[in-house]
Amino acid sequence: MNDLYYYLVPAIFVLVVVVRHVRNKNRRHAAAAEVLDEAIKSGLTEPPSLHPVIDPIVCCGSGACVSACPEKALGIINHKAVLINPAHCIGHGACAPACPVGAIKLVFGTERRGIDIPYVKPNFETNVPGIYIAGELGGMGLVRKAADQGRQAIESIAKSRGDGKQLDVVIVGAGPAGLAATLGAMEKKLRSVTLEQEESLGGTVYHYPRNKIVMTQPVVLPLVGKAKLGEIAKEDLLAFWQGIVDRVGMRLNFNERVEQVSAAEGGYVVKSNRAEYRTRNVLLAIGRRGTPRKLGVPGEESPKVVYRLVDPEQYSGKKVLVVGGGDSAIEAAVATAEQPGTKVVLSYRGDAFGRVKQKNRERMEEAERAGRLTVLLSSTVSKIETGHVHLDHDGKVVCHENDGVIVCAGGILPTGMLKDMGIKVETKHGTE
């Protein structure tokens, strides 16, 4: 009998542990399946950027990718990893290296929605020798990865030196990629100039609404070392970069817009609205906003129509229309609706918001419940007047009193400039 107890007690203990483990795993699988089902019902099935594709045959279901994803976009269903929240995935890419069996590849676009991406080699050189692309234009909008690409592109450029009669590189853009590249050029003692068409550094970050939270992982910067930032407000991130600029004596040419890049003997001539630069290489570290996408409706030329939100306070006590269905539109609508006495209408042509982060979705829904924000899905702007806007909503024309219109419909990729340089632009449909 003692021998029976000797074996029975451990066996019962092991059985209890196994049952609890299986029960918890089944509970997690059910929760993941519920999230996926909700995403499908809501039409939120299109990832906005770089995202994982999982080979179910290779996947071992370890869950390492789920733990590595900071946006909680992955889950385990039936012992296999699944992208359960596609709209949450913003291209961190941490899942692929975390996978112990190499079952994940990172791709751009889907079969339904293609993404235009300029062709770049692993060293960030395009198909045109001497012209490089880093950061958001190449499909990588994350601060850390954009900065890494800018640094790596400069390392490639520094492998060959010129005769000193021309610049080694003209860096176009002063966002994270351009700033990291400028630091790299300084560290490598390259002859360079950095041109920025805006009045301030930051690139796309500069255009974020005030106090927007930016999540950035640790990044290694030339001349600076490792910077640990984590979640940080837009203003604090810009101040961080400005502090680096001041500390290292970085020179940036603001309000200088590149108008043409043409081939010349031994390199290129970069023509801006201020000067011409002869250079061996060009690094395009610009965003994908390009030219703002316009609505093409009567009255759009009105001074009250803008294409980015700079300061929500300017709309305090006013009636505002925000147009768009992405994160920038929702952030602009919510930030504006938070101002005292402001009433905001958010118009989106789609029947669901398919490309927004969960935090933004929750803030939008909270503003709706508070009565500060009215969301009109399946609606388009038909006419803009001095004191009103007209919308087509579910087949009916509705009119709203209006003091300002903020259009957040994205930008047109500068494909014309790229093609003039001879750079290939590929449309990715779920390919690497």
CA 97 vs CA 106, 119, 147: distances in Å: 10, 23, 19
Percent of the chain at pLDDT exceeding 90? 43
Domains 116-290+414-428 and 292-412 share a fold: yes
Average pLDDT over residues 37-64: 83
As given in the structure block, the two tokens for residue 284 are 């395009």
414 versus 184: the higher-pLDDT residue is 184
Torsion (CA) 151, 157, 162, 164 in degrees, nearest 10: -20
pLDDT of the residue at 206: 66
Which of 213, 201, 211, 196 has the alpha carbon at shortest distance from 238? Answer: 201
pLDDT of residue 1 exceeding 60? no
Which of 320, 326, 298 has the alpha carbon at shortest distance from 408? Answer: 326
Which of 127, 175, 185 has the alpha carbon at shortest distance from 153? Answer: 185
For the chain, give me the number of helices (H) and strands (E)?
Answer: 9, 26
Identify the CATH class of 2-107.
alpha beta
- pLDDT band with cut points at 50, 70 and 90 for residue 311: confident
CB atoms within 10 A of CB 240: 14
**Burial zone of 369 (CB within 10 Å; 0-12 exposed, 13-18 middle, 19+ buried):** exposed
Task: Annotate 195-255 with DSSP letters as a single string.
Answer: E-SSSSS-GGGGGSPTT-EEEE--EEETTTEEE--EEEEHHHHHHHHHHHHHHHT---BTT
**What kind and span of H or E run contains 67?**
helix 64-68
CA–CA distance, 99 with 26 (Å, rounded to integer): 21
- pLDDT band with cut points at 50, 70 and 90 for residue 409: confident
pLDDT of the residue at 175: 87
Superfamily (CATH H level) for 292-412: FAD/NAD(P)-binding domain (3.50.50.60)
- pLDDT band with cut points at 50, 70 and 90 for residue 399: very high
Contacts (Cβ under 8 Å, ≥6 apart) of 274: 253, 256
As given in the structure block, the two tokens for residue 12 are 């019962």
136-145, 269-278, 407-416: segment of lowest average pLDDT: 136-145
The alpha carbon of 423 is separated from its chain's Cα centroid by a whole number of angstroms, namely: 22
CA–CA distance, 118 with 131 (Å, rounded to integer): 11
8 Å CB contact between 83 and 89: yes
pLDDT of the residue at 191: 95
**pLDDT tens profile 157-178:** 999 877 778 999 999 998 889 9
SS3 117: strand
213 versus 221: the higher-pLDDT residue is 221
Contacts (Cβ under 8 Å, ≥6 apart) of 325: 348, 349, 350, 353, 354, 355, 356
CA 399 vs CA 287, 359, 386, 390: distances in Å: 35, 30, 12, 5
Q: Name the residue ranges covered by the structural domains of the chain.
A: 2-107, 116-290+414-428, 292-412
pLDDT of the residue at 178: 93
Q: What is the mean pLDDT of the chain?
A: 85
Handedness of CA 314, 319, 324, 327 (dihedral sign): positive
CA–CA distance, 23 with 29 (Å, rounded to integer): 10
CA–CA distance, 230 with 216 (Å, rounded to integer): 5
Which of 299, 309, 258 has the alpha carbon at shortest distance from 279? Answer: 258
- At residue 128, φ and ψ (nearest 5 deg) are -95, 115
**pLDDT tens profile 331-354:** 999 999 999 999 999 999 988 886
**Burial zone of 89 (CB within 10 Å; 0-12 exposed, 13-18 middle, 19+ buried):** buried
344 versus 308: the higher-pLDDT residue is 344
94 versus 13: the higher-pLDDT residue is 94
- pLDDT band with cut points at 50, 70 and 90 for residue 328: confident
Q: What is the DSSP letter of 304?
A: T
Average pLDDT over residues 107-136: 86
8 Å CB contact between 400 and 391: yes
Question: Could you tell me the maximum CA-CA distance found in the chain, to the nearest angstrom?
Answer: 96
pLDDT of the residue at 5: 65
pLDDT of the residue at 210: 64
8 Å CB contact between 282 and 268: yes
8 Å CB contact between 334 and 367: yes
49-53, 287-291, 385-389: segment of lowest average pLDDT: 287-291
As given in the structure block, the two tokens for residue 13 are 């203990």
Average pLDDT over residues 293-298: 90
- pLDDT band with cut points at 50, 70 and 90 for residue 107: confident
Superfamily (CATH H level) for 116-290+414-428: FAD/NAD(P)-binding domain (3.50.50.60)
- pLDDT band with cut points at 50, 70 and 90 for residue 2: low
